Structure 1
């Protein structure tokens, strides 16, 4: 890729936000229902949450949680651990902006539960899977460390194997922001850094992508052959949706699906977002993952200008609430994350000097 690091980081953040906001109005819908209603949905729509009316282009809890984690990274000036993220959540979290799972986790933290243990017993939702991308950004060019840090942070909100899906996304972002990255290298990195059921799920979904002539064919195959692959003999009902149903709102579905869509779209950022939205089911989660990865890979400069402008304008209230700054937005957060990468570079240089002295002393 020829874009700059700043463009890649901004692309990751705004691409994820666009996918989230586009997918929100049809969350829980099937692919067929979206097609019947809109043909192909690629414009922001009004949608409703239990606590408020939400204007077109507004983010959901997926992106809100991501930016709480972004704030933790920039305040730590680099890599973060559960206590860092817990402190930001304690100070800044608006419970109206997250789902019940994350609200419960914050209540656990407030009650004195160790942040390293708060993910035990949680609902297997996708919020952390979409939110983990700043961990990949701050570990740019180091997907192995991104996976480890992603697994650690995801463990605050998820249990295995769902946290491994989040860690794989972090590893993919760490690769995607590098200059020579391709969609092949990103997918390969996610496979290499994954494990167990998540690796198997991605392998199955990618196999379907290889034999599909179109994304519509891929989606039909995923609906018919993928979503109940873990439970042979169990009848899956595509009309049922909810955290308690098989795979619904689960990273075991979302990450392999997103990876397969990215592969079939060759990482094209705008197409990947649209196809992620129109896949349906947890549509905002799928699209926020495809948008984040493809946005990091190709940069914000490749994302539709109208999407970026409307998404920035529609979410200024969130950033002012988060940072107490009326000028804060996705782009300024990207600049701050880039500063965190530079901070990690300085830390690495300092450690290199210490190791050189240590090794010199042994000669």
Structure 2
């Protein structure tokens, strides 16, 4: 397939949104519960969230936060820091579209708290890891910088190792959007640009993937030996945990699970998304990360047309709310992100010229 940057970036954005919207109705379900009720779940359905009552195909806060970050990048013509992201959140964030963790961040920012550290002490969740993908896009081909920028942005929203795992996702996207990228090169990039617990978690999950003969067998292994037992930090209830009434909001589970599932889906973007959401537990987060990575690797053209059309149409009110433009959608944001890449190219050229003058003068 001929490489097309628009197809790649759009695939990343719309793939992540589709995984999010598909996974939302079964968030908190176990794999067993999903299988007993639906067999395989792969259609948009109505769902309820504490912060919204939503129609089939509607995105959750995972994609909403990602779009706010996209807007930050395009309005600042490229790479951004927590300062710029904080400005966008103060101006545009609708508390009715996000979970309690993001509401807390907004309140901290509104009181003048330092945006570089508002994530300290925050309740763990997967929003930062789900939202960070545009940082990888704007740092295409430079996973090291994507990791650094991703860590900085994650520090606004999360604390501890969650920042590292979020940064690792950004590094993976920086590789995934490149020509000739493969799932193997993406996973290798994520392992290289990671640290400590994050690296170990991915390594363990990928070990299960290497031993599994199918995605179903992999998920059985993950449920038996990998699910994050540390969340939530309340009185332990074994029955509730294993019945799916309690599920992890930890990136140490979600991100490794996403890449392990992706590795066994034979380069099929649609199957990758389906298997991601049918893992269950934090299914919209797993679906978002799988969809973003697979969509970038294989392009939007490979994603089911009916999914793309419905997800675009169903979220028009959100796009207009955020951007003030009734024609805005994931595709128009794709074009704006590509413009930001062109600005990054200009800045890189200017930097090259500056260093050339410096070194030429120093050597004369």
Query: TM-score, with normalisation over the residues of structure 1?
Result: 0.96
Question: Which structure 1 residue ranges, 4+ long, deviate > 6 Å from structure 2?
Answer: none
Match of 1:62 in 2: 62
Counterpart for residue 5 of structure 2: 5
Paired residue secondary structure (2:157):
coil
2:279 aligned with 1:275: no
Contact 1:3 1:298 (C-alpha < 8 Å) held by counterparts: no
Matches within 5 A, 1:1-363: 2-228=2-228, 237-242=241-246, 248-363=248-363
The alpha carbon displacement at 1:238 in A equals 2.3
State whether residues 228 and 250 of structure 2, in contact with CA within 8 Å, keep that contact through their aligned partners in structure 1: no
Report deviation, 1:77: 0.4
Structure 1 CA distance, aligned partners of 2:26 and 2:36? 12
Q: 1:272 to 1:176 in 2, by over 3 A?
A: same
Quote the offset at 1:346 in angstroms: 0.4
Superposition RMSD on alpha carbons, in Å? 1.5
SS at match of 1:156: helix
Partner-residue secondary structure (3-state), 2:78: coil
Distance 1:235 1:3, change over 3 A: farther
What secondary structure sits across from 1:115 in the alignment? coil
SS of aligned partner of 1:149:
helix
**Structure 1 alignment gaps of length 5 or more:** none
**What per-residue deviation string (whole Å, max 9, x for no partner) do you get for residues 148-176 of structure 1?**
00000001001120111110100000000
Aligned residues of 2:30 and 2:244 also touching (Cα < 8 A)? no
The structural deviation recorded for 1:228 is 4.8
CA deviation profile, 1:248-302 (whole Å, cap 9, x unmatched): 0110100000010011113421111000100000000000000000101111011
Whether the 8 Å CA contact 2:228–2:252 is kept in 1: the answer is no
3-state SS of paired residue (2:325)? coil
Deviation at 1:240, TM superposition (A): 4.5
Question: Do the aligned partners of 1:89 and 1:106 also contact (CA within 8 Å) in 2?
Answer: yes
Rounded to whole Å, the distance in 2 between the matches of 1:82 and 1:241 is 35
Post-superposition shift, 1:180?
A: 1.5
> TM-score scaled by structure 2?
0.95
How far off is 1:117 after superposition? 1.1
Tell me, what secondary structure is at the counterpart of 1:3? coil
How many residues matched?
357
Shift in alpha-carbon separation, 1:265–1:4, aligned structure 2, 3 A: same
3-state DSSP of counterpart to 2:252: helix
What are the ranges of 5 or more consecutive residues in structure 2 without an aligned counterpart? none
Distance (Å, rounded) in 2 between the aligned partners of 1:30 and 1:64:
25
